[in-house]
Amino acid sequence: MNSAKEDFRVATPGFAIVDAHQHFWDPTLNYHPWLNDAPPIPFRYGDYHALRRRYLPPDYLRDAAGFQVERSVYVETEWDPADPVGEMRYVDQLRREHGLPTVAVAQARLDRDDAAQVLEQQAAFPFVRSVRHKPPAGAMGDARWRAGFAVLARCNLRFDLQTQWRYLAEAARLAVDFADTQIILNHAGLPADRRPAGIAGWKRAMRTFAACPNAAVKISGLGQAGKPWTVEANRDIVRTVIDVFGVQRCMFASNFPVDRLCATFGTIFDGFREIVRDLSAVEQRALFYDNAIRIYGME
C-alpha cells in the first residue's frame, strides 16, 4: 500500500481513538447552571437548547458508532460551583456503571479560599488527571489565582486551559513561571474569528504559547455558529496547530455532545482523518491515540 491513509488503517485496525475531550451530564439529576437556569447564557455556537438534556455513555457510544473509541477524557461540565467534588463522585459512578470515561478533568476555582482543599480532594480520585477553571481576563496574572495554580504541581495535576487566543501571551507567562505543570490548551485556542486578521492574530498567539515546552493542545471545538463543519473550513486551523506545536503535543477530540450542534461525530473524526491523511502512520496514531495516553497519564 502506498498512501499514508491506507498505512494508518493497517497500523491501527478498527481506527482506535482516544477522545481527549468529551462530556456527560444529567441536568434532571444534577445542577449545571448553564443547562438548568433560564435564560440560557450567550454561547459561541448560538442556540444550545438541544444540549439541555441527559447525555450519558450509551448516548455517546451511539454517536460514536463505527469508531473504535477505546478511552476518553471527561472534562468538567460547569457543574454546580458550590459542589465541585460532587461532580467527580458522579463521574466515579459513571465509570463503575459504564466503563467510561477513562480519566477526568475536574473543576476547581483557583481564586477561591478553599482552592487548595478542593484540589487535594479532586486529586484523591485515582482517575482525575487535570483541572479546569476558565480564567477571566487578567486572572492568569493575578496573585490570588496564581496561588491556587501553584498547588497543582504538589497534587500532581495538569491544567486544562480554555481561553480566547487573545490571552495566550498571558498563558505563556504562566507556563514559564510554572514550568513543572503541564498546561493543555482546549479547543485549539478558540479560533472563532475566521476573517484574515483574526486568523493572523490567532496564529501569532499560538506560536507564542507553543514556545513553552510544557504546553500541549487539543484540536477540538472548531465549529462555527450557523455553519457546517467541513474539511475545507478547518484544514488550515488543524494543520497550523500541528505545524506550530508539533505532532507530539497535539490531540484530536470530539467535544461531544457540545459539537453535536455543528456536526456528527463521524463528520468531525473523518474530517480529521482526511486533513492528516498525508502524515505517516506513526504520526497519525500519535494524534488520534498515543499523545492523549501519554499527556493524560493513561498508560
Q: Helix, strand, or coil here: 250? A: strand
Pairing of strands 16-22, 68-75: parallel
**Ramachandran angles phi, psi of 245, nearest 5°:** -90, -20
C-alpha span between 3 and 292 (Å, rounded) = 25
Instruction: Identify the CATH number of the domain in which residue 270 sits.
Output: 3.20.20.140
Q: Are 189 and 168 in contact (CB under 8 A)?
A: yes
How many separate domains does the chain show? Answer: 1
C-alpha span between 135 and 211 (Å, rounded) = 21
Q: Are 140 and 171 in contact (CB under 8 A)?
A: yes
Could you tell me the strand order of the sheet in which 16-22 lies?
Answer: 16-22, 68-75, 103-107, 128-132, 158-161, 183-185, 215-219, 250-252
Identity at 236, one-letter amino acid code: D
pLDDT in tens, the chain (299 residues): 233 333 333 334 468 999 999 999 999 999 999 999 999 999 999 999 999 999 999 999 999 999 999 999 999 999 999 999 999 999 999 999 999 999 999 999 999 999 999 999 999 999 999 999 999 999 999 999 999 999 999 999 999 999 999 999 999 999 999 999 999 999 999 999 999 999 999 999 999 999 999 999 999 999 999 999 999 999 999 999 999 999 999 999 999 999 999 999 999 999 999 999 999 999 999 999 999 999 999 99
DSSP structural state of residue 237:
H
pTM of the predicted structure, to 2 decimals: 0.94
The 10 Å Cβ neighbour count of residue 262 is 20
Identity at 138, one-letter amino acid code: G
C-alpha span between 292 and 133 (Å, rounded) = 20
Domain that holds residue 134: 4-295
Q: For 134-144, how does the pLDDT look when each residue is reduced to its tens digit (9 = 90+)?
A: 999 999 999 99
Q: Helix, strand, or coil here: 159? A: strand
